[in-house]
Structures are given as structure tokens and as C-alpha cells.
């Protein structure tokens, strides 16, 4: 079915225009023209066009079932999902626009003034509005003066708006607020995170346009003044001795791109992008002999949360949901200024809407290239001298989002043996805290004189709408257990691999266990593999701490998805995000913990596997002033999906030396290895 879908686009590339209308694949992100048309239609229905803003504009994707019908030849309407926010009244409205017919087919006012509340994401223009509101506030200016800043220095202060969290305070309920913290800067290019202003937090009501609450806590902690800048121009003594390293692909890359579709080394998929998730992989399939076999219908990271573990005024409420509260896609880096990838790169430019609903193109938002990844397999047969080694090539599809102080990379890797990997890269600048001279920071690590970094956690949630061999899929849990001594274990060497089907979604909210090597298999019980079982992929997770905030805390309830490593739900197009639709200023309880209350069957069903993973970060001097990359992620590996090593058909590198029986093996068994 997927191949039929793909055939359509091959004949009709992204830019094809037919009878005045662009023919597009149903999963292509909205074009500039479609964004403009959708926003114009919606704006025309707004109470005030001048006050109408567009925090979310994206493709309303067809369901898996609709796509299959499309594969059968039916045309699918192109739909846009548009959320508007009236910046004077605060009213937020969801719209679905039928672009072909030029009409709004659905309109729903969000009930966000009633519990459990929830606001559309913070828009970039609100970052600037927040700073203006804070700097105009007499109370905040007085708090700055109390910390010894002159009027001139106050103008240089950096105000960081932070999604607010929620604690059921009167000024939070149903309000569109952010909490703002402040940093001293000696000049506009100074790294403000070296100079946190402790004890001052302004709650800014973005609709009322005023500071709704101000914390100005005692005792006054002096602002750390030591400069910690990291720009190249600040480094008088850069490290020497690094010779150029060039990656050359004289015949070009091995992938083929057609619009948003990619083919590489037996893999085929479509690239998508949304304002909330950023990069999306659609319809990931692998060509296995004559068969194109589907693996994943849709894969993305739908949420993140970063809860902080310091109880003091500047930090206790910090718990940014970077996808749902800001938008990882909205904050994607345009890589036109220099990309971090080496080799022959293909960039995808992504059309997007600004907060006024004006379309623009995020240049080079997605980067795709190939990498050499060492050895994929190798053997030296010492008896006959047969030496075979193959290098691993992987395809990297990635983007980077900068969310305030932190920078997150999302790197999907496809391998030639059928492995799929997601690696997130965490870098940028840590949140900091001013520490009283002579004291040591209690709630994290010291990173410099009078400067600490609060301990925190980063959680990601990947949503994997599975489609192993295109049919019903089932999830099973496995672990290793030693077998007691006995007649069937007379030598004590035997251990077992247990197996347990996860039948209903409440049974399937699971925690990783490194000690038992717990893993999960997603299989298709309707298909028989080469050894009489079911074709499957294994979810390989890294056991890591889950949400450590207390049961009953707001952050735990708001970020409930981070209380389990694995969740499985039957596919429901309304259940798109691990934290629910509108986590911003939301009271909690939405997302995965709510979805699974239905306790639906997930046995041989159209299922979504959700995986929470992350990093618990105790700050250290090495994290400052800019932190080397920390990694988190997972892999999906074929387990009985293929009849053998899927990379067994790889040819040796062209310049490899053949070492066969009789050739001299110089020194050791590594001779003949070629590193291309």
C-alpha cells in the first residue's frame, strides 16, 4: 500500500502545478501558499484581525486508514489545523481548514478558562512583550536597584520568559502567563547565565500586559560578576594542532530525494515537520528482497519536560515542556549559517507561519547526510585465512532546536542492517543560580565562584506509531532470569528469557530494568517469519531515572508521561502528544496517564508505542559556560524480522585488499582491514 502512495508522488513532484493547484502528497507539510490561504481564511473570521495571532499552524494529517484509501486511488483533502489567539481577549480557537474547498470545516473555542486550563504555546513575539512588560514594572525595577544595579545597568538586564508551570494560584487559573527571571549583562553580548539575579521572579500576564505577581526574596544574594564568555572572539588562545579532515563523496550521496520522500539503501520514508515536534518520519519501510516491508507509520518526539530540583524562588516552578509550551519545530535552527554535518548534505526547507499568520520558509531546517560508522560486521577465519569486513554506513536525518538557554539536537539514524536509532543531543547553557559568597550550593553543583547549576532532569517522549509488516501489532515484554539449580540446570549455567504479552494499555505502562535486561518486542502475530515465529522489532532502552518529583506534585501530574519508560496505546488520531494538547499553564493529568485510563486492548491492534527517556543532570564545572553534548535515546533493532543478517549482502569497500588463504597475515589478524 505504501508503494502505491509513493508512486503518486513520484509522478507528481512537490512543485508540480496542475490546473492552477499544486498536487501534493497527503503527508507533505503545508506549503507557503497553503499557510497563507489557511491563515487568511481564519483571520477573516476573527473578532479582531489586528489582535489575531497564530500560535499553531500545521498540516492536519490524514489518518493511517485514510492514507490507505488514498493508496487505493482516492484523493484526500488537504487540511490545515490552525489555532488562533486573540491577544486582547485571550480567547483561543482551534480551526480545521479545508484548503481545496477554501472553507473552515471545524471551529472550536478552547475551554481554557476552566480547569484543567491549558494555553496554546508561548510565541516568539511574547518573549519580547514579556521583557517590555517586566522592564516597565516599578516593583521589578526596585528589586533590581535593591541588588545594586544602576538605571543604566537595569536596561542591560536580560529577561528570560519561562513557561510558568502551574500551582493552582489565583493568577494562574485560566491565565496566559509566563514567569520571568533576570540576568545581569555587562554588555549585550555578555553571557548572562554567568550573572543570575537571584530571588526575583516576575509573573507576567501576557493578555493583561502586566506583572501579576512579583517575588523579591531575601536575603539578597550578590550577583556573580565573573565573566564566562565562550565565543570564538573571546578565546585568545585556541587549541592548535587540528589538521583538516575532509569527507568527500565524489560520486554524490547514495540517497535519492523526491519532494519529501527519501530512498536510501533499501530504506524508504517521507520527511515531515510540525511546529510542535519538529522532524517527523512517515511511512518508514525497508525493501526486503521483493517485498517492501513497513516498520513505522509515523515517528516523532511529541514532548519534553525539564523539571528542576531546587525549592527556592527562582527555580521550584521551572519545568519547561519544550515541545508543547514553545514548539521544537518553531524553534528549529536554520542551518544556513553553517551546519554541523560533514559530507554531502541535503537540506529540507520548511514552510512555517509566524505569529501573525504570515508564511515564511525556515531555510535548511532539516539536515540529511550519510556517515561512515565504523564496522558493521567482520570475521577473520584463522583456519583458512578468509577475512571479511564491511563498513557501516548510516543515514542521518536531524534538526536542532534552541529553547532559551538549552540546545537540543534530534538525530534519527537508519542503518544498513535494519536498525533505527534516535539520539538526542543536549547542549547549550545550563540554568544557573547565584550562591552566597562562602556558601556551597545545596540544590545542585558549583560551576564557578558563587555560581551554581540546579540539578534537573530532561525527559523526551518519542511517539512511534508502529506498522510492522502493515498489520496488527502486539507488544511483549521480556527479561532475563537465572534458573535455579535442578535437573534441568545441573551445571548452574542456564538462565531463561521470560516473555509476557501486554494485552491492555494499563498493563503496558512499564519501567525499564537494567538488572534483568528488560526489553520489549513489537511483533506482527499475523505473519510468520523464517524460523516459525512472528517478525518483530525490539525496543532497546537505556535504563535511566524516571520523574523523581513527588507523587502529588504538580510537575509530576503535568509531566505524567515521564513516570514510565514505555506506554502502549491503540492508535487514536486525537491522542497525538505525550503531555496532552495544551500543556502550557495546564493543571496536569493530561496525556498518556489519561489516555490509558480507557484500558483498551492493544493486542494485535493498530498501536502506538511511546517511549520516555532522558538524562538526570547534576551540574558540574565542565558544563559551563557552554556544555559539551550529553546524549540520550533508544534503538529499534530487528528481531526475527529478517531471515538473516540484513547487511550480509554488503560488498567490501572498493579499495579493500582481499586477504585469502595463503596471503601473509602481517603480524596480527587485523591485517587487510580497510578504513577507506
Known catalytic residues are: 322, 406
CA-to-CA distance for 594 and 369, rounded, in angstroms? 39
Residue 627 CB, nearest distance to Cu ion (Å)? Answer: 7
Backbone angles phi, psi at 45, to 5 degrees: -100, 0
Bond from prior residue into 116 cis (ω within 30 degrees of 0): yes
Output the smallest distance, CB 615 to Cu ion, in A. Answer: 7
| φ/ψ bin of 87: left (φ > 0), alpha (ψ from -120 to 50), beta (otherwise) | alpha
Grid cell, residue 76, equals 484526500
Closest approach, Cβ 448 to Cu ion, in A, equals 17
Q: How would you class 324 by CB atoms within 10 Å of its CB: exposed for 0-12, middle for 13-18, buried for 19 or more?
A: buried
Provide, rounded to whole angstroms, the least separation between the CB of residue 230 and Cu ion. Answer: 17
Question: Which residues in this chain contact Cu ion in the complex, by CB under 5 A?
Answer: 617
Q: How far is the CB of 348 from Cu ion (least distance, A)?
A: 28
Nearest distance, CB of residue 447 and Cu ion, angstroms: 12
Q: How far is the CB of 180 from Cu ion (least distance, A)?
A: 21
Least separation, in Å, of the C-beta of 458 and Cu ion? 5
**Non-local CB neighbours of 354 within 8 Å, separated by 6+ positions:** 54, 124, 360
For the chain, the helix, strand and coil percentages under 3-state DSSP, each to the nearest 5: 15, 40, 45
**Cβ nearer to Cu ion, comparing 333 with 457:** 457
Which residues lie below 8 Å from residue 290, measured CB to CB, with a gap of 6+? none
Q: For residues 53 and 617, which CB has a smaller minimum distance to Cu ion in the complex?
A: 617
Handedness of CA 264, 267, 268, 274 (dihedral sign): negative
Q: β-strand 210-216 against 158-163: which pairing, if any?
A: unpaired
In the complex with Cu ion, the residue whose CB is nearer, 43 or 617, is 617
Tell me the residue nearest to Cu ion as measured from the CB.
617
Closest CB to Cu ion among residues 463, 617: 617
In contact, 350 and 197? CB cutoff 8 Å: no
Supply the DSSP string of 150-194, one letter for each residue. Answer: -HHHHHH-EEEEEE------TTTTT--EEEEEEE--SSTTS-GGG
CB nearer Cu ion, residue 56 or residue 320: 320
- All residues at 6 or more sequence positions from 346 whose CB lies less than 8 Å from its CB, including other chains: 253, 255, 257, 367, 368, 369
Of 228 and 617, the one with the shorter C-beta distance to Cu ion is 617
Q: Which is nearer to Cu ion, 158 or 405 (CB)?
A: 405
Which residue number, 6 or 314, has a Cβ lying nearer to Cu ion? Answer: 314
Please give the DSSP secondary-structure letter assigned to residue 510.
B
Extract the C-alpha cell encoding 66: 485514510
Q: Are 604 and 526 a contacting pair, CB within 8 Å?
A: yes
DSSP single-letter state for residue 233: G
C-alpha cell belonging to residue 113: 478558562
Amino acid at each position: 500500500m505504501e508503494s502505491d502512495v509513493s508512486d503518486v508522488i513520484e509522478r507528481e513532484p512537490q512543485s508540480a502545478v496542475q490546473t492552477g493547484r499544486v498536487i501534493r502528497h497527503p503527508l507533505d507539510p503545508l506549503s507557503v501558499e497553503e499557510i497563507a490561504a489557511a491563515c487568511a481564511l481564519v483571520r477573516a473570521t476573527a473578532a479582531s484581525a489586528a489582535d489575531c495571532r497564530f500560535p499553531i499552524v500545521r498540516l492536519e494529517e490524514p489518518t493511517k486508514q485514510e492514507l490507505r484509501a488514498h493508496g487505493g486511488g482516492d484523493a484526500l483533502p488537504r487540511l490545515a489545523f490552525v489555532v488562533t489567539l486573540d491577544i486582547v481577549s485571550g480567547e483561543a480557537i482551534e480551526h480545521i481548514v479545508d484548503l481545496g474547498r477554501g472553507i473552515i470545516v471545524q471551529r472550536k473555542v478552547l475551554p481554557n478558562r476552566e480547569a484543567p486550563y491549558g494555553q496554546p504555546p508561548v510565541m516568539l513575539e511574547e518573549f519580547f512583550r514579556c521583557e517590555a512588560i517586566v522592564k516597565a514594572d516599578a516593583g521589578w525595577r526596585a528589586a533590581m536597584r535593591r541588588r545594586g544595579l544602576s538605571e543604566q545597568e537595569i536596561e542591560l538586564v536580560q529577561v528570560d520568559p519561562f513557561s510558568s508551570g502551574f500551582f493552582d494560584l489565583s493568577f494562574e487559573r485560566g491565565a496566559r502567563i509566563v514567569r520571568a527571571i533576570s540576568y545581569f549583562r555587562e554588555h549585550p553580548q555578555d553571557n548572562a547565565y554567568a550573572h543570575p539575579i537571584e530571588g526575583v521572579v516576575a509573573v507576567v500576564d501576557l493578555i493583561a500586559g502586566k506583572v501579576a505577581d512579583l517575588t523579591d526574596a531575601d536575603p539578597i544574594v550578590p550577583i556573580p560578576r565573573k565573566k564566562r564568555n565562550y565565543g570564538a572572539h573571546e578565546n585568545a588562545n585556541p587549541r592548535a594542532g587540528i589538521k583538516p579532515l575532509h569527507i568527500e563523496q565524489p560520486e554524490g550521496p547514495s540517497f535519492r530525494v523526491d519532494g519529501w520522500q527519501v530512498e536510501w539503501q533499501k530504506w524508504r520514508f517521507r520527511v515531515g515537520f510540525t511546529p510542535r515536534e519538529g522532524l517527523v518520519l512517515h511511512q518508514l519501510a525497508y525493501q526486503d528482497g521483493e517485498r517492501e516491508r513497513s516498520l513505522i507509520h509515523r515517528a516523532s518526539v511529541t514532548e519534553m519536560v525539564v523539571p528542576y530540583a531546587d525549592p527556592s524562588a527562582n527555580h521550584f516552578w521551572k519545568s519547561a515542556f519544550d515541545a508543547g509550551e514553545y514548539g521544537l519545530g518553531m524553534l528549529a535552527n536554520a542551518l544556513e549559517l553553517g551546519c554541523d554535518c560533514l559530507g554531502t548534505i541535503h537540506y529540507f526547507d520548511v514552510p512555517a507561519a509566524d505569529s501573525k499568520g504570515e508564511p515564511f520558509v525556515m531555510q535548511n531546517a532539516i539536515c540529511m547526510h550519510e556517515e561512515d560508522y565504523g564496522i558493521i560486521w567482520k570475521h577473520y577465519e584463522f583456519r583458512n585465512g578468509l577475512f571479511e569486513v564491511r563498513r557501516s554506513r548510516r543515514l542521518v536525518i536531524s534538526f536542532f532546536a534552541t529553547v532559551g538557554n538549552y540546545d537540543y539536537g534530534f538525530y534519527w539514524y537508519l542503518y544498513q542492517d535494519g536498525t533505527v536509532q534516535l539520539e538526542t543531543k543536549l547542549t547549550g547553557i545550563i540554568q544557573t543560580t547565584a550562591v552566597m559568597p562562602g556558601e556551597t550550593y545545596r540544590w545542585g553543583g558549583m560551576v564557578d565562584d558563587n555560581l551554581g547549576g540546579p540539578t534537573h532532569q530532561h525527559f523526551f517522549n518519542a511517539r512511534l506509531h508502529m506498522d510492522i509488516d502493515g498489520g496488527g501489532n502486539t507488544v511483549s515484554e521480556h527479561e532475563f532470569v537465572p534458573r535455579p539449580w535442578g535437573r534441568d540446570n545441573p551445571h548452574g549455567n542456564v538462565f531463561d528469557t521470560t516473555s509476557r504479552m501486554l494485552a491492555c494499555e494499563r498493563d503496558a505502562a512499564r519501567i525499564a530494568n537494567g538488572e534483568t535486561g528488560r526489553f520489549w518486542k513489537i511483533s506482527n502475530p499475523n505473519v510468520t517469519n523464517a524460523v516459525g515465529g512472528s517478525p518483530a522489532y525490539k525496543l532497546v532502552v537505556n535504563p535511566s531515572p524516571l520523574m523523581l518529583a513527588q507523587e502529588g506534585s504538580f510537575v509530576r501530574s503535568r509531566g505524567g508521561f515521564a513516570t514510565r519508560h514505555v506506554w502502549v496505546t491503540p492508535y487514536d488520531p486525537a491522542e497525538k502528544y505525550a503531555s496532552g494538547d495544551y500543556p502550557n499553564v495546564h493543571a496536569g493529568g493530561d496525556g498518556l496517564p489519561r489516555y490509558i485510563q480507557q484500558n483498551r486492548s492493544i493486542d494485535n491492534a493498530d498501536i502506538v508505542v511511546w517511549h520516555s527517556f532522558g538524562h538526570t543532570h547534576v551540574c558540574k564545572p565542565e558544563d559551563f559556560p557552554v556544555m559539551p553534548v550529553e546524549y540520550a535515546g533508544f534503538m529499534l533493532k530487528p528481531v526475527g524480522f529478517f531471515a538473516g543478517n540484513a547487511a550480509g549482502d554488503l560488498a567490501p569497500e572498493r579499495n579493500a585488499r582481499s586477504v585469502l588463504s595463503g596471503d601473509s597475515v602481517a603480524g596480527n589478524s587485523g591485517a587487510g582491514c580497510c578504513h577507506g
